[in-house]
Structure 1
Amino acid sequence: MIKRHTIVLLALCAANTTLFAQTPMKPNIVFILTDDLGYGDLGCYGQKLIKTPRLDQMAAEGIRFTDFYAGSTVCAPSRSVLMTGQHMGHTHVRGNAGGPDMSKQSLRAKDVTVAEVLKSVGYANGLCGKWGLGDEAQGGRSGLPRRQGFDFFYGYLNQVHAHNYYPEFLWRNEVQETLANNVKKVDRSYGGFTGGWATKKVDYSHDLIANEALNFIKRSARPMVDGKPFFLYLALTIPHANNESGKALGDGQEVPDYGQYADKDWSNPDKGQAAMISRMDADVGRILDLLKELGVEKETLVMFSSDNGPHDEGGHNVERFDPAGPLRGMKRDLYEGGIRVPLIARWPGTTPAGVTSDHVGYFGDLMATVADLSGAQVPDDTDSVSFAPTLIGLESEQEKHRYLYWEFYERGGKQAVRSENWKAIRMPWKTGTTQLYDLNEDVGEENDVAVSHPERVAKLEKMMDEAHRPHPSWTVRGRKPAVAK
């Protein structure tokens, strides 16, 4: 694996000598991850009502991927795939843990993250926003960001804490910083944390996180000949709902103001949903502007994506915005709407501008991609294929996945696999009926063609069985835990 990626990088350099002569071999890397943003929530992916001019501009100046996938259909496991380069059949965190013991939802000391790989070749690493893979709670400390390769952290550790945009505190490294908000707690806790919503709203967490990200870039962006390259993982919480206020008050889309949507004849949750996404878009623009101002724009690869499909938990009208676009399903589905997500990549002078790519990739590919671009070694036990060739305009040299795989333990359990243009979904877990879709002809997954392609179904089911490695902490509810082999 390591040798193969080294050879790939050398081949890319040889094939495009002029390009790499003008490009640093260790670019700064900014990966921006939004929370519950749908495939159709951006203008450049077909959104008509919500304005996202800076991301639309970013797509026009870079590459817009049409067939890119999240690691999972919910938060924590998707982020585990992103950080470890292992798909859902192999990664440690495979679901959102509900009990007080956070060990199931925390990375272990032996798990190797993207940040650790980049740190090994001299990167300064910062994380701003929502982590969700380690906590101060019982069993969670091994997964704390600064034990997983990050030099700096600001934001939320616990994902339930991250529901609230006006929390009482945020974490700076391992220290709680008190904010000016007052929070009404709910009666139950989840994942070691008791959620709630603010009765006194002063400090908006998204704004604080965005400002910390800008400050990290200012501290880290030195001329490449003089200083370290940097990696910023900006894990925004927008447009995730505050589930607690959504259930109690009917409005979970918390935002300081409705901005350009204030006078719309919409419900407040609808205005909040749109305002949150446009606010996020403006902050992406602030990052792009800062990179240019600091003179490191051409030395920095910026990528933008979402952790899973869109939610319907904030009280807003999903039909108004059509957040999944042409896709079927939403968050917690293994249909395309639950797992296919936007990916925009921009690296001025390196990525071709205004290109649309149908390369089939997923979160786990970040590991091999950053390793190729930085000269780092890829850990042996990954399911990662570098999309560096596509990023530098050599799509003809792009390696393809044999298949992509997902599994989900809630709602009776389900599995899915995509191989070339074919997508299979098996529900319930392992023993249920398998649906088959030809995504080239039916991206909306409306026509199940399993009956007419039994051999194809059997082939994809074999891939599902091959991809799943039993894990003692993860099983479909109501079944005995699996035994790892």
Structure 2
Amino acid sequence: MPTIINPTYLDHDERKIHLPDNPILRNHYSHDILTNAALNFIREPKEEPFFLYAAYTLPHFSAKEEDEHGLTVPTTAPYMEKGWPEKAKKYAAMIDRLDKDVGKIITLLEAMGIRQNTLVIFTSDNGGHSATWKGFKTNGRLKGYKRDLYEGGIRVPFIASWPGVIPAGQVSNEVIAFQDMLPTFATLANTTLPGETDGISVIGALKGNALPPNGRVLYWDFGHTRDRYDQAIRLGDWKGIRNGKDQPIELYDLSKDIAEANNLAGDHPELVEKTERLMETEVAPSPRYPVGVKYQGGPIWKKNW
């Protein structure tokens, strides 16, 4: 499903919250509604520990990604007077709004006296967007953007805070992924997993420790329902990437080359061969998106939307 910053309705359990004025932003902004719902959920009396997933959409581009109208926000404050392009002001205002609303959640946890017993994680589902104003240097030294399998597309910020448990101001270089969240939360909740998963508990990394050697393979693919079919494999410090089904595999040592500037494929043919084998075996196509089948008009959600 595409992300729409200004939808005409939001789903809430089994009902819809209609936002009839939203296309012209007179009275409603979906992000604000999500924030209020999150705060109200936290305030509700509970006898057991709770889990809240606040799936914010900010910052996000709409269909017109390349022009200033591809970003919609009620105000560009506090950046109105900046000498930036208009879309840069809008993007920065989105992030400012998100930052302040995360702050509201933290403040509420503190006011309720449960901050010390609450793990808070702030992260993103992808890297920076190519349409972001270049003056912001959204991905720093990382190569690529959202929808790429270079680090700029798949490496994301991950901030975890838990007073008294997670050391403050510390940076970890352990490699973790979103599939690790379920086993991590299950361990913290002292419960068993519902079945087999691809993730591992990363509580040790959250506490500032090194994870035990696991030798696991991390796999990404993108675009197998379109003309492109990109794949990437991570093996320890090594990263193999292929931009297109019949394209050569590139190989990078991320411990020395986080910018993926030095392709070492020619120096390590054995690693390239292993990466290619893994690309063939690790892919797990779903019935909805079988590999090699191209759907007219793009991904299935466009046909059903």
TM-score under structure 1 normalisation? 0.57
State the distance in 2 between where 1:213 and 1:398 align: 35
- How many percent of aligned residue pairs carry the same amino acid? 41
Higher relative contact order (CA 8 A, sep 6+): 1
Q: What's the counterpart of residue 443 of structure 1?
A: 258
Task: Specify the SS of the correspondent of 2:43.
Answer: helix
**Amino acid across the alignment from 1:288:** I
**Amino acid across the alignment from 2:243:** M
State the distance in 1 between where 2:221 and 2:203 align: 27
Q: Is the 8 A contact 2:62 2:70 kept in 1?
A: yes
How far off its partner does 1:299 sit? 1.1
State the distance in 2 between where 1:438 and 1:382 align: 27
How far off its partner does 1:464 sit? 2.2
Q: Is the 8 A contact 1:412 1:477 kept in 2?
A: no
Q: Is the 8 A contact 2:218 2:235 kept in 1?
A: yes
Q: What's the counterpart of residue 283 of structure 1?
A: 101
Q: What's the counterpart of residue 33 of structure 1?
A: none
From the two aligned structures, give the one with the greater strand fraction. Answer: 1
Q: Is the 8 A contact 1:361 1:401 kept in 2?
A: no
Q: What's the counterpart of residue 204 of structure 2?
A: 389
Question: Within the alignment, does 1:403 sit opposite 2:221 as a pair?
Answer: no
Q: 1:398 to 1:372 in 2, by over 3 A?
A: farther
Question: Within the alignment, does 1:293 sit opposite 2:123 as a pair?
Answer: no
Task: Specify the SS of the correspondent of 1:360.
Answer: coil
How far off its partner does 1:263 sit? 0.1
Question: Within the alignment, does 1:347 sit opposite 2:162 as a pair?
Answer: yes
CA RMSD, 1 decimal: 2.0
How far off its partner does 1:331 sit? 0.9
Q: 1:169 to 1:397 in 2, by over 3 A?
A: closer
State the distance in 2 between where 1:200 and 1:345 align: 33
Q: What's the counterpart of residue 422 of structure 1?
A: 238
Q: Is the 8 A contact 1:435 1:450 kept in 2?
A: yes
Q: What's the counterpart of residue 323 of structure 1?
A: 138
How far off its partner does 1:379 sit? 3.6
**1:468-483 pair list within 5 angstroms:** 468-474=283-289, 475-476=291-292, 478=294
State the distance in 2 between where 1:423 and 1:332 align: 17
Question: Within the alignment, does 1:274 sit opposite 2:92 as a pair?
Answer: yes
Q: What's the counterpart of residue 242 of structure 1?
A: 62
Question: Within the alignment, does 1:164 sit opposite 2:5 as a pair?
Answer: yes
**Amino acid across the alignment from 2:53:** Y
Q: 1:472 to 1:170 in 2, by over 3 A?
A: closer
How far off its partner does 1:378 sit? 1.9
Q: What's the counterpart of residue 9 of structure 1?
A: none
State the distance in 1 between where 2:147 and 2:204 align: 32
Task: Specify the SS of the correspondent of 2:51.
Answer: strand
Task: Specify the SS of the correspondent of 1:259.
Answer: coil
State the distance in 2 between where 1:342 and 1:401 align: 23
Q: Decide which of 186, 197, 215 is 2:40's aligned counterpart.
A: 215
Matched positions, count = 292
Q: 1:399 to 1:296 in 2, by over 3 A?
A: farther
Q: 1:470 to 1:251 in 2, by over 3 A?
A: closer
Deviation string 1:452-473 (CA, Å, 9 cap, x unpaired) is 1101111222222231234343
Task: Specify the SS of the correspondent of 1:451.
Answer: helix
Q: Is the 8 A contact 1:412 1:476 kept in 2?
A: no
State the distance in 2 between where 1:449 and 1:308 align: 25
**Amino acid across the alignment from 2:12:** R
Q: What's the counterpart of residue 228 of structure 2?
A: 412
State the distance in 2 between where 1:179 and 1:396 align: 48
State the distance in 1 between where 2:161 and 2:17 align: 34
Q: Is the 8 A contact 2:184 2:200 kept in 1?
A: yes
Task: Specify the SS of the correspondent of 1:287.
Answer: helix
State the distance in 2 between where 1:200 and 1:282 align: 20
**Amino acid across the alignment from 2:5:** N
State the distance in 2 between where 1:265 and 1:406 align: 39
State the distance in 2 between where 1:397 and 1:452 align: 29
Q: Is the 8 A contact 2:25 2:74 kept in 1?
A: no
